[in-house]
A and B are shown apart, each in its own frame.
Chain A
Amino acid sequence: MPSSWRHHRSGIGPTRKVEYAVAVHSSISPKDSEFEHRRSLISQRLRGYFWGYFFIFPSLAMFLLFSLYPMADSIRLSFQRFALTGREWVGFENYQDLLQDDEFYIVLKNTLVYALAIVPVGVLLSLILAILIFQLPTPAQIFFKSAYYLPVVTSGVVLSLIWLYLYDPAFGLLNYLLGTIGIDPVLWLADPRFSLLSIVIMIHASQWGGSIILLTASMGGIPKDLYEAASLDGASFFRQTVSITLPLLKPAIAFVAITGSIASLQIFTEIFLLTSGGPNLATTNLVYSIYEQGFIRFDFGRASAIAVLLLLLTIGIALAQYRLLRSNVEY
């Protein structure tokens, strides 16, 4: 190293400070003493390490205790059974029980139905709305973005309570509106044909604000000259959307699709409040099943086995989408 660390660093600062630093430096370690010089260099670096660890320590401690350790424990729990005497190892028993249970397959199917009913429609809906409002003047854009994001802000519990009322077979607004056009009341939440659909409708009506904001923000990042060049070549708005906007939006679309899928695999609040998983498991998904096994039947081993399987499913779906949708487009 040609100059000491301190010299090097002091070179960056204003002149007055350089002189000050050099003066301090030379008074501590004589210029000709290589040994002293190296020793101060090492202690300086160690002090740097110390402060690095010092600043990350509180966060790291919490992270190890409340994220990393539980993650490992979750896998361990799935191979154990809770008995009065403590936790005992049962090998793959929790998984075997699960895979031999017909209920598990119904719940797994429901989980996938939620994802299929929510993600493609939601991504398309967000995309159409984002493209449309992007054409509007800025104040209108801000108004619509806020309007679409407002339900997200009001929280899942509040929205679920509202929709519980809207879906009420006798006093709810939806059946009243259907009645005005001559359709008989629908048992939205009690009829197994409609209950899962009701939850999906509620999610579509309230959860896409963030995606729309994200997509419009990404559209703002596409260089304007691409559109100008396309206009000069006579490309229509539709053509520009297909050939410029959509390809360049691919990373943002992938992000919306992947985060949307992860969210759609872990719906809980809405199910808890609207249907409690019923009627007859019709709306139970894997997360609700974790809650039920863990906190109603207190079978933590089995609940953990479901959690591990759901985590694998989530990672698998996210990775598959990432592979499918990733692009090397740069602009």
Chain B
Amino acid sequence: MARELATGTEITKGAGNWLTRTANRLLGGWRDATPLERVFLVFAYLVATGWAVVSIFPIYWMVITALKPPTTIMELPPDWIPRDVSFANFREAFARSPVVRWTFNSLVMAGFVTAFQLLFASMAGYGFAKKQFPGREVIFWLYVSSMMIPGFALLIPLFTLMARMGLVDSYIGLIAPGLSAPFGVFLMRQFIQTLPTDLIDAARMDGCSELRIFFDIILPLSKPGLAVLGIFVFMGQWSAFLWPLVITNSSDMRTLMVGFAMLSNQELRVNYGAQMAAATYMAIPMIVVFFAFQRYFLRGVTIGGIKG
């Protein structure tokens, strides 16, 4: 439709709007494009591809370095495509670290924070969206305004709080601050608000208890919202660095990110093969999750510009 309109006017308007037609034709196809439009199309693809290379190449470089035999890593000119595949770097990285324990710690932290946030945020989201009670607006306003508080502002007071409670270097210490989730509550409230209130009333008329309404009606209907929130919370916790860095002391309590970050400065210093193997090991779960739930990511980013 748009293209027909544009081509209809091009006779009268002349060469001045070739770029407009370009924009329209890009969607229409290469075959009926004029040379100038083809130039524009090629330009757009070139720039976009160039930036894609900038984005992806470091990750590619990480993976192939990890897979190279350790002896070939320092070779210059480098192999752009690995000739021999070897897992020696992974063996090296794992041999020098309590990697199983760190993986377990990362999973505990990310898993518990995600599970609790999903439960707490959907409960509170339901409360704020569908219940009437005094103070509702004020409390919600507090949540929304605190969404903007950056993590660093709470670092010291949270640490001293944990220290007073004797929770430094413990799982509870790792997990607890992640349970305050104003953003999650905000997201779930927005989502649950769109669910029909009639449905809840009808269920209540049928004698459904409040808890059953929540667990059997609200939660199943909130799945898309919960999926977006769950993925982002899990990813954010898996990647978290500053908090696990300060709250853990012993090597055994570190998460993967903190553990390997510290090793890269100590035993694995300049051992780039092992470092890249460790980095690949930490990144692969995230990359797999990303491609498995791509549409949730692309949607989730637009909901609130969630930071990683």
Contacts and interface: CB of A to CB of B under 8 A. Distances in A.
Interface in A257-308: 259, 262-263, 265-266, 268-269, 272-273, 287, 290-291, 294-295, 300, 303-304, 307-308
B58 interface: yes
Contacts of B179: 62, 66
A287 B152 CA distance: 7
Interface string A116-144: 00000000000011001101110010111
B107 to A, nearest CB: 15
A288 B43 CA distance: 41
Given A137-B27, A161-B275, A213 B157 contact: no
A42 interface: no
> Which of B51, B76, B124, B158 gathers most chain A CB within 10 Å?
B51
A158 B283 CA distance: 7
B300 to A, nearest CB: 9
Contacts of B126: 55
Contacts of B139: 56, 60
Contacts, number: 348
A157 B152 contact: no
Interface in B111-161: 119-121, 123-124, 126-128, 131-134, 136, 139, 142-143, 146, 148-161
B47 interface: yes
A136 B46 CA distance: 12
Contacts of B201: 9, 12-13
Interface in B68-92: 73-74, 76-78
Contacts of B272: 165, 168, 171
Contacts of B153: 71, 74, 307-308, 310-311
Contact of B59 (A162, A171, A259): A162
A132 B202 contact: no
A156 interface: yes
A104 B134 CA distance: 46
Q: Is chain A's binding surface mostly helix, strand, loop or mixed?
A: helix
B94 interface: no
Contacts of A230: 20
Given A173-B61, A234-B9, A291-B246, A51 B305 contact: no
Contact of A157 (B24, B146, B239, B306): B239
B2 interface: yes
A56 B127 contact: yes
B246 to A, nearest CB: 5
Nearest to B50: A129
Nearest to A206: B55
A144 B213 CA distance: 42
Contact of B54 (A14, A62, A205): A205
B105 interface: no
B297 interface: yes
Contacts of A41: none
Interface in A26-78: 45, 48-49, 51-56, 58-60, 62-63, 65-71, 73-74, 77
A96 interface: no
A222 interface: no
B69 to A, nearest CB: 15
B133 A53 contact: yes
Interface in A140-188: 140, 142-166, 168, 171, 173, 176
B214 interface: yes
B202 A66 contact: no
B155 A231 contact: no
Given A58-B123, A133-B44, A238 B19 contact: yes
State the 9 A-B residue pairs at the shortest beta-carbon distance, nearest first.
A237-B19, A55-B127, A52-B133, A52-B131, A155-B239, A59-B124, A70-B157, A66-B180, A73-B157
Interface of B: 1-2, 5-6, 9, 13, 16-20, 22-24, 26-27, 40-41, 43-45, 47-48, 51-52, 54-56, 58-59, 61-62, 65, 73-74, 76-78, 119-121, 123-124, 126-128, 131-134, 136, 139, 142-143, 146, 148-161, 176-177, 179-182, 185, 198, 201-202, 205-206, 210, 214, 235, 238-239, 241-242, 245-246, 257, 260-261, 264-265, 270, 272, 275-276, 278-279, 282-283, 286-287, 289-291, 294, 297-298, 301-302, 305-308
